[in-house]
Structure 1
Amino acid sequence: MTRTETVPTETGDARITWHPAKRPALILAASHGAGGGIEARDLQALAATLPAHGVTVALVEQPWRVAGKKVAPAPKTLDTGWRGVWPTLAEPGLPVIASGRSAGARVACRTAEELGAAAVLALSFPLHPPGKPEKSRADELLGAGVPTLVVQGGNDPFGRPAEFPEPAGPAPYEIVEVPYGDHGFAVPKRADLTQDEALAVLTDAVVAWTGSLP
């Protein structure tokens, strides 16, 4: 049974929707991007799949979204809201994987080491603004400092898998491609896999990765 919890932060009330596993070994805490909420197809697919594999999923709505605003605030404000939610996420005493899609993935990477995240799952990491590869955000990804999995659509205008830098450092990242997927992991009708199959690529990769974490 899912449950929803409101958490006060310095930037306003955030909201967590818990999808509990019966015998959890990990918590995956995932936030949304700057243009949508936790109804995103990838977040919902993970919430539907991971609990059966011993991972409780906590979908986090940032305060700006809870307040009904249409535009996300500056990255620093997003980080503050995430920090405010973290003690509640860590309260069960299990290792917490920091996750998010798009802007939420950037937040997870920027704060992972500081907050003591066990790992980072970056969904649709926005490596650069569309059409502006020179404005790279690779330093955020490479600086996460913990084991990191990137799941990226093959046709993501914010960064296709081939554009990502070589993994490096003490905690190199892994990357999994969802063929034909755009920034929201939508695949065109002409693709040789269905939308459900595309999401299965994502969830299968995350199940295998979470199962491999120490």
Structure 2
Amino acid sequence: MSPTEEINTPHGPAGVDLDRPVGSPSALLVLGHGAGGGVDAPDLLALRDAALAAGLVVARVTQPYRLAGRRAPAPARQLDAAWAAVLSVLRARCPKVPLVVGGRSSGARVACRTADAVGAAGVVALAFPLHPPGRPERSRAAELPASVPTVVVNGDRDPFGIPAAAVSTVRVVTRPGERHELRKDPLGTAAVVLDWLRAGGWTRPPDRWLRRAASSDRTDEA
């Protein structure tokens, strides 16, 4: 599927699929894909739908190498530079709301590495690949930002490992029965992230009111 639009970067055009909520947005959520995958991964789509319903603008970014049809990822410095270039354009379009960045696997790593540089208020890391399978000595834990609130959602059967919440800004949620693809329960994964977005104040206030009302109704029926 072709992206909604293309944005030029130092390493070629990147693709952007942009979805806007009804009414004024509460935040901008920008998501990246895995190394050999795309922005239509089940967990990314579920998160897009949940975030849209909660009032966020959601942009899913296809890196230039994937838009060009290549599966092998570009070097990290190229991924980061292309990501930052896209974010600069998107940020100019939504200047008055907080920026939350994220993605799955390789996209999560890019979002984590660049969070400070792009001025992100928060980071969503789905299936953060702590290390290559079978190589725990090659840890990427240092890529998790220490100064930006971050939620990490990994499956308990992920062969790429599960990060530890080494600093107070990082929250790690382990999803039972899930592997790296997070395909078993994408709606549940999205719900975890939505709760974190809500706690950070990045959802639209009526979203809170509706949930409280629904909870009250269930209590009354009990």
- Taking structure 2 as the reference length, what is the TM-score of the superposition? 0.84
Q: Sequence identity, in percent?
A: 42
Give the whole-Å Cα distance in 2 for the aligned partners of 1:154 and 1:24. Answer: 34
Q: Secondary structure at the match of 1:209?
A: helix
Aligned equivalent of 1:165: 164
Q: Map 1:57-76; keep pairs closer than 5 Å.
A: 57-76=58-77
Give the whole-Å Cα distance in 2 for the aligned partners of 1:80 and 1:90. Answer: 15
In the alignment, does 2:1 pair up with 1:14? no
Give the whole-Å Cα distance in 1 for the aligned partners of 2:178 and 2:99. Answer: 27
Aligned equivalent of 2:157: 155
Further displaced range: 24-33 or 198-207: 198-207
Offset at 1:201? 1.9
Give the whole-Å Cα distance in 2 for the aligned partners of 1:175 and 1:201. Answer: 15
Structure 1 counterpart of 2:157, which letter?
N
Offset at 1:145? 2.0
Offset at 1:64? 0.6
Aligned equivalent of 1:192: none
- Tell whether the 8 Å contact from 2:76 to 2:110 is kept in structure 1 after alignment: yes
Aligned equivalent of 2:124: 121
Aligned equivalent of 2:188: 201
In the alignment, does 2:7 pair up with 1:4? no
Greater relative contact order (Cα < 8 A, sep 6+)? 2
Structure (1 or 2) with the larger CA radius of gyration:
2
- Tell whether the 8 Å contact from 2:165 to 2:171 is kept in structure 1 after alignment: no
- Tell whether the 8 Å contact from 1:28 to 1:96 is kept in structure 2 after alignment: yes
Aligned equivalent of 1:185: 182
**CA distance 1:144–1:37, shift in 2 (3 Å):** farther
- Tell whether the 8 Å contact from 2:127 to 2:152 is kept in structure 1 after alignment: yes
Offset at 1:166? 3.6
- Tell whether the 8 Å contact from 1:8 to 1:14 is kept in structure 2 after alignment: yes
Aligned equivalent of 1:190: none
- Tell whether the 8 Å contact from 1:46 to 1:57 is kept in structure 2 after alignment: no
What are the ranges of 5 or more consecutive residues in structure 2 without an aligned counterpart?
Answer: 202-222
Give the whole-Å Cα distance in 2 for the aligned partners of 1:211 and 1:166. Answer: 20
- Tell whether the 8 Å contact from 1:167 to 1:174 is kept in structure 2 after alignment: no
Give the whole-Å Cα distance in 2 for the aligned partners of 1:151 and 1:89. Answer: 25
- Taking structure 1 as the reference length, what is the TM-score of the superposition? 0.87
Offset at 1:109? 0.7
**CA distance 1:210–1:166, shift in 2 (3 Å):** closer
Offset at 1:144? 4.7
Give the whole-Å Cα distance in 1 for the aligned partners of 2:151 and 2:18. Answer: 22
